[in-house]
């Protein structure tokens, strides 16, 4: 049975990077943010395998117009994909996270898949997440920019809700849960990825630099099309110097219960402790 790794948590927390690194294993297929497929119609989509959706070996059976997948749930689509890739892969990754549309999807998938399900909860310092939201606050659907305060508040509340959903899952199903901090992933990627592989019964691949053509992400951060070298990975810490103190305090205050739970230091004075030692 192909296992499912579901990446939960809030956006801008390193989920694209995490999925990329997981797919350095030839037995892993990365499917990106599956949930978005139910909201984005049209056939002119390019997959990260560099093929159009209708030619992609993973997504071609699921191409659709508005009618074709009408009534499908995220859970149904993920399970159908899982079945479709089961001949070729031991593990599939869905990086839909746990924003409000997908808050309870990990629980529903766990009920269907039992021990073959692992929620990897990725978490990043909320001040870094909010700074990223402030810098990219264009709202395409509304055709306008959010104010910096609105972007900050939206990110802080969304971060709390998405992480709370993962925490509740972890409390209910501790054997199907693993929390990973973005800061640890950037600092010690090999150790973090090996720990995740271990949890789904995979051994480390002989050569993780070989391309495997196993990334089929139709949706997600644009970074998914880039090549990443593990040795060049660096934590994005621009916010620590560039983010105005007032916004740091605002976000820190709104997120303080989780701030200490995840070792992110004081409200206005970030000092992340490292769980994994650096690979370097």
DSSP secondary structure string for all residues of 247-279 = HHHHHHHHTHHHHHHTT--SSSS--PPPSSPP-
Give the dihedral sign, CA 24/87/31/94: negative
Tell whether residue 212 is a contact of Zn ion (CB under 5 A).
no
How far, CA to CA in Å, does 200 sit from each of 114, 140, 217? 12, 38, 21
Mask: binding to Zn ion, 234-263, rule CB under 5 A, as x and -? ------------------------------
Of 67-75, 119-127, 162-170, 212-220, which segment contacts Zn ion by CB under 5 A? 212-220
Q: Which one of 49, 79, 153, 168 is in contact with Zn ion (CB under 5 A)?
A: 49
Residue 278 Cβ, how far from Zn ion at the closest point, in Å? Answer: 34
Q: Is 47 in the site for Zn ion (CB under 5 A)?
A: yes
Select the span of 42-50, 203-211, 251-259, 270-278 touching Zn ion (CB under 5 A): 42-50
CB of 49 to Zn ion, least distance (A): 3
Count residues binding Zn ion (CB under 5 A): 4
- Give the nearest distance from C-beta 52 to Zn ion in angstroms: 9
Binding part of the chain for Zn ion, among 50-58, 173-181, 182-190, 266-274 by CB under 5 A, reads 50-58
Q: Name residues contacting Zn ion, limited to 53-92 (CB under 5 A).
A: 56
Phi then psi dihedrals of residue 143, to 5 deg: 70, 35
The separation between the first and the last C-alpha atoms of the chain, rounded to the nearest angstrom, is 36
Which CB atom, from 179 or from 215, has the smaller least distance to Zn ion? 215
Nearer to Zn ion (CB atom), residue 59 or residue 239: 59
Q: Which residue has the tokens 């609105």?
A: 150
Exposed, middle or buried by CB within 10 Å (0-12, 13-18, 19+), for 33?
A: buried
Work out which of 12, 84, 121, 216 binds Zn ion, going by CB under 5 A. 216
Of 16-24, 25-33, 215-223, 253-261, the segment contacting Zn ion by CB under 5 A is 215-223
Residue 116 makes CB contacts below 8 A (sequence gap 6+) with 1, 2, 3, 4
Q: Which positions ≥6 away from 159 have C-beta within 8 Å? A: 10, 126, 129, 130, 255, 258
Residues that bind Zn ion (CB under 5 A): 47, 49, 56, 216
């Amino acid at each position: 049975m192909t296992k499912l790794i579901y990446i939960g948590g809030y956006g801008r927390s390193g989920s694209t990077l995490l999925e990329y690194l997981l797919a350095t294993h030839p037995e892993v297929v990365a499917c990106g943010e599956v949930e978005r497929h139910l909201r984005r119609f049209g056939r002119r989509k390019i997959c990260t395998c560099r093929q159009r959706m209708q030619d992609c070996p993973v997504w071609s059976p699921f191409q659709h117009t508005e009618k074709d997948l009408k009534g499908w749930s995220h859970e149904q689509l993920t399970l159908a994909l899982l079945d479709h890739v089961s001949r070729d892969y031991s593990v599939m990754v869905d990086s839909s996270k746990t924003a409000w549309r997908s808050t309870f999807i990990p629980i529903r998938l766990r009920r269907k898949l039992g021990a073959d399900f692992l929620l990897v909860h990725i978490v990043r310092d909320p001040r870094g997440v909010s700074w990223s939201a402030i810098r990219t606050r264009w709202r395409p659907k509304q055709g306008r920019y959010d104010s910096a305060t609105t972007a900050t508040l939206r990110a802080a509340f969304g971060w709390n809700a998405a992480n709370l959903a993962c925490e509740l899952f972890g409390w209910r199903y501790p054997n199907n849960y693993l929390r990973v901090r973005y800061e640890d992933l950037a600092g010690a990627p090999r150790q973090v990825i090996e720990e995740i592989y271990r949890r789904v019964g995979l051994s480390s691949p002989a050569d993780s630099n070989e391309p495997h053509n196993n990334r089929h992400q139709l949706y997600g951060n644009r970074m998914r099309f880039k090549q990443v070298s593990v040795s060049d990975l660096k934590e994005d810490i621009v916010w620590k110097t560039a983010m105005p103190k007032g916004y740091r305090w605002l976000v820190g205050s709104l997120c303080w219960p989780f701030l200490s739970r995840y070792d992110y230091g004081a409200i206005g004075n970030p000092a992340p402790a490292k769980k994994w030692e650096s690979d370097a």
